[in-house]
Amino acid sequence: MKRIRKYGKNINLVIGGSILLMFLIMMVVSFLYTPYDVNTMDIANKLLPPSGEHWFGTDEFGRDIFSRIMVGTQTAFFVGTVSVGIGMVLGVLIGGISGYLGGWVDEIIMRVIDALMAFPGIILALMLVAVFGSGMVNTSIALGLMAIPGIARIARSGFLQSKDAEYVQAARLMGQTQVRIMTKHILPNVMSPLIVAASIAFAVALLAEAGLSYLGLGVQPPDPSWGRMLKDSQGYLVSAPWYTYAPGVVITLMVLGFYMLSNAIRDISDPRSR
């Protein structure tokens, strides 16, 4: 009970958690029900302002913007989950090995990581998109590869600090294998900064996906994407400004939700910051 009250005081957790919960519910609902069909065009009702029938108005083909925003959550969660998944698995693997083994292996891996981090984020993603091609799956892979260096660095410093800790020495003396020591003993102990990093990586992936889709190099129609909606809305900025508000606000809200969640996890897991 005391724990719950303490968490309740954490404004980041409450607001960030609520925002993300709302989007999760929206995603689940969107699989079962949307107010209008997301792809049916209705030219007679194009670019309508928000009203009781169309909460966020309609787009240039008369499609209901609210329904399209709802379905867009599927894309956002797909891209975010896949890219963070790739980033976490490979990042922790590479960083863990680098930190645990140390020596020249560490030196080589870290130099490559440094070089990868020298590419400004979106440039690396654009280069990968140029190679793999656009689309939802390729975008997710490109953003996942982009997330690896940052996560690997954090994993490395965790493994580096823990590799000579007493509990690791004890496990070694008990004759446990290196793999078991790394996965069963060190990993759980260095997990919290990694979860914080994953939450930030999710936010970064969402922004990058929106950016790539806005450039026309990310998610391709008919897959719904908020970034793509923003691209389409730009042509009607003056005549139908509401068209641009809805997708922009939901992207900002969802990214904000993940940033707040990452702050909350950091506060909870690191007693010094309290």
Partner 1 sequence: MAYFFRRILLLLVTVFLVSLITFAVFQIIPGDPIRIMLGPEADEARVETLEKQLGLDQALPIQYVNWMSGVFTGDLGDSIRFSRPVSELIADRLPVTLSLAFLSIAIVIMVAIPLGIYIAKRPNTLRDFVFSSVTQVGMAIPSFWLGMILMLGLGMSFQFFSISGYVPWSESITGAIGSLLLPAITIAIPQIAISFRYIRNTILEQLQLDYVRTIRSKGITERAVIYRHVLRNAMIPILTVFGLIFAEVVAGTIIVEQVFGLPGFGSLLITSISYRDFPLIQGIVMYITIVVVIINFVIDMLYAVLDPRIRLGE
Q: What φ, ψ does residue 104 adopt, rounded to 5°?
A: -70, -30
Closer to partner 1 by CB, 190 or 203: give it.
203
The total of other beta-carbon atoms located within 10 Å of residue 17's CB is 16
The residue type found at 156 is: R
Nearest distance from C-beta of residue 190 to partner 1, angstroms: 24
Q: Tell me the closest approach of the beta carbon of residue 136 to partner 1, in angstroms.
A: 17
Residues that bind partner 1 (CB under 8 A): 111-112, 114-116, 118-123, 126-131, 203, 207, 210-211, 214-217, 227, 230, 233-234, 237-238, 241, 244, 247-248, 251-253, 255-256, 259-260
- Whole-angstrom distance, CA of residue 248 vs CA of residue 13: 23
Of 69, 38, 80, 78, whose CA–CA distance to 245 is shortest?
Answer: 69
Instruction: Give CA 175 to chain center in angstroms.
Output: 39
Nearer to partner 1, 30 or 138 (CB): 138
Distances (CA, A) of 226 to 28, 40, 259: 17, 18, 19
The residue among 150 and 186 lying less far from partner 1, judged by its C-beta, is: 150
35 or 216: CB nearest partner 1: 216
Closest to partner 1 by CB, 37 or 114: 114
Q: Which of 129, 142, 136, 132 is nearest to 204 (CA)?
A: 142
